[in-house]
Amino acid sequence: MMRQYELVERVRRYNPNTDESLLDRAYVYAMRAHGTQKRASGDPYFSHPLEVAAILTDLKLDDATIVAALLHDTIEDTDATRDEIDRIFGAQIGALVEGLTKIKKLDLVSKQAKQAENLRKLLLAIADDVRVLLVKLADRLHNMRTLKWVPEEKRNRVAQETLDIYAPLAGRMGMHDMREELEDLSFRQLSAEAYESIRSRLQALKEHNGELVAAIERELSDAVANRGIGALVKGREKRPYSIWRKMELKSIAFEQLSDIYGFRILVDRMEDCYAALGVVHTKWPLVPGRFKDYISTPKQNDYRSIHTTVVGPGRQRVELQIRTREMHDIAEYGIAAHALYKDAPGVAAPGNRESNAYAWLRRTIELLAEGSSPEEFLEHTKLELFHDQVFCFTPKGRLIILPRRATPIDFAYAVHTGVGDRAVGSKVNGKVSPLVSELHNGDEVEIITAEGQTPPAAWESIVATGKARAAIRRATRAAVRAQYAGLGKRIVERAVARAGKVFSEERLAGVVPRLARTSLDDVYAAVGRGEMRADDVVKAIYPEWAGPRVEERGAPHGEGWFELERGQSLKFKIPGIESDPDPKTAIPIRGINRELPVHFAPNGGAVPGDRIVGILTPGEGITVYPIQSPALQEFEEEPERWLDVRWDVDEDDPQRFPVQIVVVATNEPGSLAQIAQVIGERDGNIENLRMSSRSADFTRMVIDIGVYDLRHLNGILADLRARPVVSSVERVNG
């Protein structure tokens, strides 16, 4: 275990002005706090925070970060408190330690929900100070290095979480060395057989190729040096997980891989990068499609480098990365390489620019924090972390970076949430393109918008970015809530009118707390969803109101006999429904629209001209039935769900309504064509058709059609009955 003076010495190597007293206090405090606690390996628990601190000294981080690493488990696992840490070490370090403390008391059903809530807390802390992330990644790295001591049933869960969240997060922050080690350690646990197979093949390849890597290094070095460019050429073998992922992605065998070895050319100046590239491309042929310039167009995590692949010495494919030494530091250590976080961590010092990686992370966290559930948050986090990138442009030349398989919908939401919500079409490279098409590097994308547009819920399964998915869910929830609120308001207004009172939103606003809601919209939405009775709202507004009379709530205003198929008859009550709907109290129905959550009877439908009844179903809105529907029997004992509704058809904007008919026709060629011809000539629209044979001579057809009103339907039925091939035709009153 590293001693106190050894830790101080490690920090002093890169920071001669380190606060030795602060480091000493933290070392002693953490050692005493953890006391006799042991790790699963049997080592003193204090060895873990000490190793985490050591990892961070390799990244040359500031004193506060090293101290936070030493203390990161004290609040969670010992009797230490945030107040005590603030008092001894200062509020800044206290905030870092608090951000690294898991939420212990979570009353959540699933482990996934608990995992997501802890991740949410961590990311929100990271948004305030990036050093929280650096400590957490170092913490996870040491835990993965010692994973073999963890109980077996827990290992796979920790490894999968690392592969899903922490390794991609390190990559997004540009910390590629740490990402690769986290990926390899996870891969070794989750797929031990595959890991060992690739590792043994790499070893065999290394023995077979002998001095190949060294020979290529020398030839590259000589070629660049001969042009007067000072450069360091380094070759390296790719890691097992990187090889495995490429094999999986391209569905190829290990023997088919041609770029197992990679080489880096490190130069002093940016101009030298392009000069070295010229040397390489004039000496060896380029492999088409394998050139990328991330210096001209850096990645979101500030990664800058030139990538190319050539057919090099010995006809070997050689994968090259060309960059400056400064670019290399950022490529290896990411945000930890920025002086900004060493000199004034978490605070943008004058003249310093926040790294793109951290700026991206903070924007992403702001979006993720709006997730409606822990599971949704976790899903969005994975979406944002996993994907590689494509670079697209707006018509004005603004660069938009998106994940692979992104669509114009993702592009629209990346530009602005409002643009995504209003998107109705797109042009890619000047040509009209579907919103669901896949974008590629260099595409110029123009989004066509329309006011009043709401994104379809189906877009959620199409998009590739967490931002787009979260925005679509939000817009869908808002649209549904607006529907229920609109319905609820109409129900409340009509309930107040039936009570003989005057509706006043001001009076309702004053009693919102009594209804256990926080706003008028909450009240309306609760009524619209069927979670709250309209009569209860009326009583809250007018306490003196005695409530509906018994006959109003349960006894029928009318009852009747209704003829059904095959001469059957049915008599049932119509609770609380007026014989002639009052335009002032009946809810107007114009069909399926965005104003109200309205559905029509699943079997039979309803059309203007029918006497109709609305049934309120919690969470679904109003289902409209024709008054003769036998399905209404099911609701006879629930009078509170019955709503007085009326048609409100716009004659200037005719709309079809659903209805179901049953046709029994002779079983002969052309009978279906004749039936379809009648419906089409009458301007009906066939929406669904089901056929079954009742006998060798007749076929029964159940047809869902759209018609304008009852007169239109009756005309279609009359024309069908006139056809010789039709034995009978009846409307279904489901």
Closest CA to 322 of 232, 252, 405, 255: 232
Rounded to 5 degrees, what angle do the CA atoms 691, 693, 698 make? 105
The phi, psi pair for 577, rounded to 5°, reads -105, 130
Kindly list the strands in the beta sheet with 642-643, ordered across the sheet, starting from the edge strand earlier in the chain.
598-600, 621-626, 612-617, 642-643
The phi, psi pair for 214, rounded to 5°, reads -65, -40
Residue tagged active-site, from 20, 24, 58, 77: 77
Contact (CB, 8 A) for 466 and 402: no
The strand pair at 587-589 and 645-647 is best described as parallel
CB atoms within 10 A of CB 477: 12
Give the C-alpha distances (Å, rounded to integers) separating 657 from 97, 153, 649: 62, 57, 11
CA 698 – CA 662 distance, rounded (Å): 13
The phi, psi pair for 500, rounded to 5°, reads 75, 25
| Residue 672 structure tokens | 């279906």
Residue 638 designated active-site? no
CA dihedral (623, 627, 630, 635) positive or negative: positive
CA 215 – CA 236 distance, rounded (Å): 13
CA 259 – CA 318 distance, rounded (Å): 6
Give the C-alpha distances (Å, rounded to integers) separating 701 from 76, 453, 607, 649: 68, 38, 20, 30
Residue tagged active-site, from 9, 76, 237, 493: 76
Closest CA to 128 of 161, 81, 105, 95: 95
CB atoms within 10 A of CB 724: 9
Residues 6 or more apart whose Cβ sits within 8 Å of residue 527: 487, 488, 489, 491, 492, 533, 534, 537
Rounded to 5 degrees, what angle do the CA atoms 69, 70, 75 make? 90
Give, as one character, the DSSP assignment of residue 511: T
The strand pair at 612-617 and 445-449 is best described as unpaired
| Residue 634 structure tokens | 């099911």
CA 3 – CA 307 distance, rounded (Å): 43
- Half-sphere exposure at residue 205, Cβ-oriented, CA atoms within 13 angstroms: 16
Contact (CB, 8 A) for 47 and 39: yes
Residue 76 designated active-site? yes
DSSP 60-101: T--HHHHHHHHHTTHHHHSS--HHHHHHHH-HHHHHHHHHTS
The three-class DSSP label of residue 206 is helix
CA 231 – CA 225 distance, rounded (Å): 7
Radius of gyration of the chain, Cα coordinates, nearest whole angstrom: 35
| Residue 497 structure tokens | 């009118």
CA dihedral (20, 22, 24, 30) positive or negative: negative
Q: Which residues participate in catalysis according to the annotation?
A: 76-77
